[in-house]
Structure 1
Amino acid sequence: MEVHRCRFVEYQPAAINALNFTPPTAKQTRLAVGRANGNIEIWDPAQRYRLEKTIPGGKDLSVETLLEQLLAAPPRLFSSGLNPYIIEWDTTSLTAKKSVDSNGGAVWCLAVNSTGTRLAAGCEDGCIRLFNISDGSLEYMRSFESQKGRILSVAWSPEDDFIVSGGSDSSIRIWNVVTGRAAQRMTVNKVKNDHTLVWTVAVLKDKTVVSGDSLGNLMFWDAERGTLKQSHKAHGADILSVVTSRSGDQVFSAGVDRKLNCFRKVQQQRNNKNTSTAGNWVNIGSRRYHWHDIRALALDDRPSVNSIVSGGVDVELVACPAAEFPQLIQNRLPPFPHKYLIALSRSQKLIMSTFFNSVSLWQLGKGKKRSKKQNTRAFGFVSIKPSKFKLNLTIISFKKILAGPLDSTTNALNEYLQKHNASSGAHHVLFTPGSDKLIVVTAESRILIIDLLGWKEGSFEILREFGHHRGLDNEGRSTDKSKVATVISLAVSADGQWLSTADDDNRIHVFNLDSLKHHIKLPKSSIPHTALSFNDFRPNELCVALASNEFYIYNVETKRLTDWSKAHTDQSGSKLVEQRDRIRGMTYNPECPDKMILYGSTYLAQVKLSDTATSTTEKSAKHQKRKFNEDTLKEADEQNKDNTEAKKKGSMDVHIAHKYQQILYCGFLDHNSMVMIERPKFSVLEKLPPSYYKAQFGT
């Protein structure tokens, strides 16, 4: 099989600057991830961390700090960056809900009180400013006394009676919330006359203040007396983040030296000198999971979550169990978007890659024929051999080609949205295979079906709007059982008849694009979905992949599971379920219509969907003479052994390959002609600036 193995898509994920879990009172736990390009990602930790959706950023919107506070369901999400604005985000429409100017320059840090009524912001001009966020508001209240240098970190006490701040003037201050004046000022160590930066502060349950500074010192302070209780030279460089457990007996720290430390409080003990060691903090272990600076930490120590999550310049999230740290293995999460990064045109052999603020087109050439003597590698029953390809970067002026149609489409959409009092903007745009219709999913989860047959004359008609993800029924009436949700997945069948959409509440709807009617709502699973795909050769069959890496196939015309899916309802013991990465997509080889390929970030899985059918490739292989060497025979024996065991257990026929890593997209141009687009980790890391290095053993 010819494989176009492409590594030319130089998609560079942005650095992680901020992390925050939803409060424990939230019904569903989520992790918010703020990146340097302004994107805010929402992750679900319940299914080994599934990327649920992304709030797109914008120019000069780098996220430096994130807050999730539960005042009413759902939790409210606030962010700030190196600009004077504090923004509240709507996590359903994925748009800015409110914003307020700090009037103090860049906002370096945010903290909310325990009752969720006051928001403290540390600003560039050296002032802490309070904002009223009660009853859904976001209003400026007042500012505290000004200090020299910017406020780099801020934290509330557990009882909201004081605020702690760390600044760029080598000082930690305890602020009286009522008077707005500093009650205590503690000074950290200095080197010569240079100021030490206090990057992070936290307050424990017993009102102990924890600070991390640019000298790598982790310090514990008595807030009432303003005195130092204990100090650790925990890191070789700046400590950028400190998080504490809710019980106050565990502290994690991380920073520029790539090291993650865990400190725990020692219980009441007496040593040989009869001296009490109660209240002392000891380092119980450390790990280096990252390749570059760790800028942010998030901790949720509840048994149901039990996670310490770290992220930084190397763009990768790492989650590991908090209670067992540092014994158990970490979970590395792929840094790439799960959907709509790559599009493939089979007829023109074009690849389109979508970047943060640009689009690139690439044209594939033909692979050179290779001799039979050259090595091939087996994937299931299909032989894969790398092929060379020709790259031509195609630059197209979209304004010149599509100026007229784009203007007409925009005018038609704006007119329709204004008429129905709807907001502009879209989360998804998708053409049907015949290019006769355009599907637009707006920020309010309105599904618009647009007729494109008259595009040459500049005529665009909105044929139908579906509001099932907005809590509306088939007649457009509001229902009490449904709620507004974000559409995160959609797929169209190869014949253009069926449209399937799914939201973050795991509701999956199927619409008939011929009759323009709602067809069926699939049974709601307790496990969230990760991908949707119609079979290219059986357009009525919809494959739904779940976060558990199980999947089922639904015949949308008959409104029931396919026979194969009924026979394989229990997939708990399959090799696919054992994979750590979630299923990102599905693809189908025209040469083997009875097989399906599912892929994640680090694997390909080939599943045989028919127990009796034999593909053309397999039939021809029986009549061909093959020369087996020792390695081939060994591989064949192992494959037969796996197949025999699978049949005994009654499990599905699946084969896993790990040859390709960091897969962005997988698809087929033609019979046995596959396009594989990768973004290797070393390619991402080589674009980063040099990381911290400290000479060892005096060299």
Structure 2
Amino acid sequence: MEVHRCRFVDYIPSAINALAFAPVTTRPVLACGRANGDIEVWNPKNEWTLEKVIPGGKNRSVEALAWAHQTILTEEEDFWDSEKEKQAAIKKLVKTPPRLFSAGLNAVVTEWDLVSLKPKRSVDSHGGAVWCMATNHANTVLAVGCEDGCVRLFDIADGELAFIRSFDKQKTRILSLAWSDDDTIMVTGSANSSIYKWNVELGRVVSRMTVERVSGEDTLVWSVKILSNGTIVSGDSLGHVKFWAKDSTAMIQSFNSHSADVLCLAAGSDGTTVFSSGVDRKCNQYRFVEQPVPKKIGKNGKNITANGKTEMTTKWILAGSRRFHSHDVRALALDESRNVDALVSGGVDVSMVVCPAAQFPDINQRRIPHVPQRPIVSISKSKRLMLCRQEHGVKVWRLGKSASPIQPFSEIEIGAHMDLIEPQQAILEMKFKDEYNLTSAALSEDGQWIAVADIEEVKLFRISENLAHPGQLTVKKLKSFPGVRGIGAHYLTFTPDSTRLVVASTDSQVVIVDITQWESGTFDVVRKFGQHRGAGGKGAESMDVDGEEDIVGGEGQVETIVSMAVSADGQWLATGDLKNRIFVFNLDTLQHHATLPVFDAPLTSLQFHPYSPTLVIPTASNVFYLFNVENRRLTDWSREYSSDKNFPTKFLGLKDKILGIAFNPARRNTLLVWGANYICHVDLDQGVGDRNAILNVGKRKRVDRVKDEIRKQQRERRMKKYAALGIVPMPELESGKAVVVLEGKKGRKVLTAATNHVDEQKEEDVNFQLLHKFQPLMFVDFVGDNSLVVVELPFVKILSSLPPSFYRPSYGS
């Protein structure tokens, strides 16, 4: 097989600045804020599944994140007519999804719509850049620390976001803040070597704690926490982690456990565990433990402890330390619930690292792949073009060509290099000046169309050959293209005949646009489907051509569309959303055709088989399903094998999710399932094989070589034994027996002897064959018979783009 191994794609993930778990009163979910403004929402279920990415924008770096989930009523007791009505209101609050807030250097506090992924509300901080943010424990007030040295409170109760008041202004910026459990006290860390304790009701400082200075320079208090018992914890730019008394604010203990700035802290809910990390990349754990008091010895050498009993005391100790990252760690998040039990860290090296919090530091960590969890690459197979979406632009390459091999691919050694007669070439790059990052980009199969979208607009470009410079492309933006009436998109794709553009809009509609009349400036919206808005049923499953909805989706029925696929013949369209709903539409009749069953695990992609009306649905549990859209049922293979009780255990145990499916035109009944660190070959003409078989191709070959060597040694020993007995071995037969001649007194005697000392072991029945040669993978697909394109993003490429990491040489090193 010919493999185009592409490492030239210009894509560098952004650094992680903030991490925040949702309150325990709602479902477990983690928000990850990046330096480019993107906010990722992760679900710890199924080994950490990425649900959605809220797009950032220029000058929108995320410095702080906060979740809010109100569970208490703010109305007076006499507001409710009955206790039953009050309890119903509380249940409604509990069922309401959590709210997500972000802030950064642009001085704006934003609440996000977690379905459309657009800003829901925004308010000015009135104090410049926002460095920190936190909600009170009642989830009714949001506090932000600003550049001008002021803490400001915002009312977020009952869906509001409104300014309440400001605290007394300090002469330096507020870098960190934390609420007490009863929401009456707040602690802030500043850039002037000080930690302030505030009375929230009065908005005034009640106490001040001072950390050390070096050479007269101010120390930055990057992080503060208030534990459940009232103890205050701080981390500063000298590498110190300090514990302060609740009432007296006197320093209890100090740990000089970091070699550089402590940028982040995380605290356990019981107040006995604290984690710290920062520039030196170490992640430290501190525990509040009981220890014996040192014995007091009198002048006569006798123990003078009262009653001779060992006295006990409690103190903080440094319990463990690990290094998970290559560069500065900027954020920590901790969730100790039984379903999650995770300490998550992130920083400059762009990757999230997850480790079990309860077993820290003994259990190994897991690094979430740094490649995009939803592919940002699309190709034109007929034109051999590849497009990659970036934050504010797209880039197009023409794939190279290799010399035709003299011998068949099956006879060429795996990994052999083939000389290029035509190298890859970057032929087009487009940059956009839009405010928000791109959410999607698509390249048509004929290579003549490029569509890009953000959350505000969809743009369409016509691509043609430059007659003056052969091999180069010219781009024309179709200004007459109306988009989707000013609505952005989360997903774009073209039909295989390049006559229609399919748009998954930010308001969860599926829009079909005819682009064949582009020369006259006409772009007809031929159909809008509203299934993902909850508009279901045969009689009211879609929207009219003029855009008027037949039926409005009920509350909670609207959800973000995250996957789309069009069949190779252009007849079928499949779409999937975050409620795990999958709908199939007939593009010939422009009607809703089928609704698939809801699978147990979130879907990660959708892909049609190129030679049959079969939709392949991979899920986050690493089980994939095959659905025949014409018959509206799972295929025979899928009904028999698609289950975590049937799939190979080694495949189900892979940590990395299935990111996509690829089909080889030369082998129509096989498919390639790929994730960030593997490619798996599956033959649909076979079953799943031995559930406990070795799936790794390289490992299985090594095991086979060892077994062959053992058999060879055993045979040699038997031949020596036969020779000592006067047995002359003859050529072996296919039956596994050899003809031998025994010389004796009565003449020659012809016998047969077994060539194997033990019976041959039965060969493993293996179907799912794993290959780990190419990694980490951003994209995998075929451009022709036995011609595979793999796009890799080596971590060393990311490291080369990062600043040097902290290093302090030690004596003798």
TM above 0.5: yes
Structure 1 or 2, whichever has the larger Rg, is 2
Question: 1: CA distance between counterparts of 2:332 and 2:18?
Answer: 7
- Could you tell me the TM-score, scaled by structure 1's length? 0.90
Q: Specify the code of the residue in structure 1 equivalent to 2:521.
A: G
The residue identity in structure 2 corresponding to 1:634 is R
1:147 aligns with 2:220: no
Residue in 2 that maps onto 1:585: 660
Q: Which residue of 1 aligns with 2:609?
A: 535
> Given the two structures, how large is their TM-score scaled by the length of structure 2?
0.78
Tell whether 2:558 aligns with 1:484: yes
AA in 1 matched with 2:141: R
Query: Are positions 1:395 and 2:394 aligned together?
Result: no
Q: Please say if 1:11 is aligned against 2:11.
A: yes
| Matched letter for residue 659 of structure 1 | K
For residue 635 of structure 1, report the CA deviation from its aligned partner. Answer: 8.5
Aligned residues of 2:462 and 2:478 also touching (Cα < 8 A): no
Matches within 5 A, 1:312-391: 312-369=347-404, 385-389=416-420, 390-391=423-424
| Cα 1:673/1:352, change in 2 over 3 Å | same
The correspondence of residues 31-430 of structure 1 with structure 2, limited to 5 A, is: 31-71=30-70, 72=93, 73-267=96-290, 269-273=292-296, 278-369=313-404, 385-389=416-420, 390-395=423-428, 401=462, 406-410=478-482, 413-414=484-485, 424-430=487-493
Secondary structure class of the residue paired with 2:20: strand
Amino acid in the other structure paired with 1:162: I
CA distance in 2, matches of 1:531, 1:635: 39
Residue 247 and residue 642 in structure 1: after superposition, are their counterparts in 2 closer, same or farther (change >3 A)?
A: farther
C-alpha separation between the residues in 2 aligned to 1:45 and 1:543? 24
- Which whole-Å CA distance do the structure 2 matches of 1:431 and 1:643 have between them? 51
CA offsets per residue over residues 69-119 of structure 1, 9 Å max, x none? 112421010011112111111111101111111111101000110111111
| Contact 1:308-1:322 within 8 A present in 2 as well | yes
In 2, the alpha carbon distance for the partners of 1:281 and 1:485 equals 47
Letter in 1 for 2:251: L
| Deviation for aligned residue 1:155 | 0.5
Whether the 8 Å contact between 1:4 and 1:387 is mirrored in structure 2 is no
> Helix, strand or coil for the counterpart of 1:135?
helix
Q: Which position in structure 2 is the counterpart of 1:421?
A: none
Separation (CA, whole Å) in 1 of partners of 2:703 and 2:224: 60
**Structure 2: gaps spanning 5 or more residues:** 71-92, 297-304, 431-449, 451-459, 464-474, 541-549, 688-700, 710-758
Q: CA deviation at 1:256?
A: 0.3
> Could you list the per-position Cα deviations for residues 372-409 of structure 1 after superposition, in whole angstroms to 9, with x for gaps in the alignment?
6999887xxxx564434412111367898578772222
Question: Which amino acid letter does the alignment assign opposite residue 339 of structure 1?
Answer: R
Deviation at 1:283, TM superposition (A): 1.4
Q: In the aligned structure 2, how far is the partner of 1:203 from the partner of 1:369?
A: 68
TM-fit CA distance, 1:643: 12
Q: For residues 375 and 497 of structure 1, do their structure 2 counterparts lie closer, same or farther at Cα, with a shift above 3 Å needed?
A: closer
Question: What's the secondary structure of 2:810's corresponding residue?
Answer: coil
| Amino acid corresponding to residue 573 of structure 1 in structure 2 | P
Q: Does residue 1:499 correspond to 2:573, yes or no?
A: yes
Equivalent pair of 2:155/2:162 in contact (CA under 8 Å): yes
Query: For 1:526 and 1:42, how far apart are their aligned partners in 2?
Result: 20
Shift of 1:457: 2.0
Out of 681, 692, 695, which is 2:806 matched to? 692
Secondary structure in structure 2 of the residue aligned to 1:575:
helix
Quick one: distance in 2 between partners of 1:376 and 1:66? Answer: 56
Instruction: State the secondary structure of the residue aligned to 1:183.
Output: strand
- Quote how far apart the aligned CAs of 1:270 are: 4.2
Aligned equivalent of 1:657, options 767, 771, 779 = 771
2:792 equivalent to 1:678:
yes
Could you tell me how far 1:192 is from its partner in structure 2?
1.9
1:133 and 1:645, CA in 2 relative to 1: closer, same or farther beyond 3 A?
A: farther
What is the aligned partner in structure 1 of residue 22 from structure 2? Answer: 22
Partner-residue secondary structure (3-state), 2:478: helix
How big is the alpha-carbon RMSD for the aligned residues of Structure 1 and Structure 2?
2.5
Determine what percentage of the aligned residue pairs are the same residue.
44
Contact 1:157 1:207 in 2 (8 A): yes
The amino acid of 2:660's aligned partner reads G
Q: Which amino acid aligns with 1:552?
A: Y
CA distance in 1, matches of 2:412, 2:797: 24
CA contact (8 A) 1:405 1:455 kept: no
Distance in 2 (CA, whole Å) between partners of 1:36 and 1:400 is 29
Seen in structure 2, the aligned counterparts of structure 1 residues 393 and 40 have a Cα distance that, compared at 3 Å, is same
- Measure the CA separation in 2 of the matches of 1:388 and 1:254: 48
Secondary structure of the 1:266 match is: strand
Q: Please tell me whether the aligned partners of residues 535 and 588 of structure 1 are also in contact (alpha carbons under 8 angstroms).
A: yes
Describe the shift of the 1:12–1:101 C-alpha distance in structure 2 as closer, same or farther (beyond 3 A): same
Shift of 1:461: 1.2
1:178 Cα shift? Answer: 1.4
Report what 2:496 is aligned to.
Answer: 433
CA deviation map 1:395-438 (0-9, x unaligned): 3678985787722222x632xx6xxxxxx211111111011221
Q: SS of 1:193's equivalent?
A: coil
Distance in 2 (alpha carbons) for counterparts of 1:11 and 1:666: 16
Note the C-alpha offset of 1:320. Answer: 0.6
Q: Is the 8 A contact 1:405 1:456 kept in 2?
A: no
CA contact (8 A) 1:149 1:169 kept: yes
Indicate yes or no: 2:556 matched with 1:557: no
Distance in 1 of aligned mates of 2:802 and 2:508: 37
2:77 equivalent in structure 1 = none
CA distance in 2, matches of 1:57, 1:376: 49
Cα distance change, pair 519–366 in 1 and its aligned pair in 2 (3 A): same
- CA offset at residue 553 of structure 1? 0.6
Deviation at 1:567, TM superposition (A): 2.1
Deviation at 1:279, TM superposition (A): 3.4
How many residue pairs match? The answer is 661
Per the alignment, residue 626 of structure 1 pairs with: none
Alignment-derived partner of residue 576 in structure 1: 651
Question: Contact 2:375/2:778 (CA < 8 Å) preserved in 1?
Answer: no
CA drift of 1:364 comes to: 1.2
Distance of 1:181 and 1:645 partners within structure 2 = 77
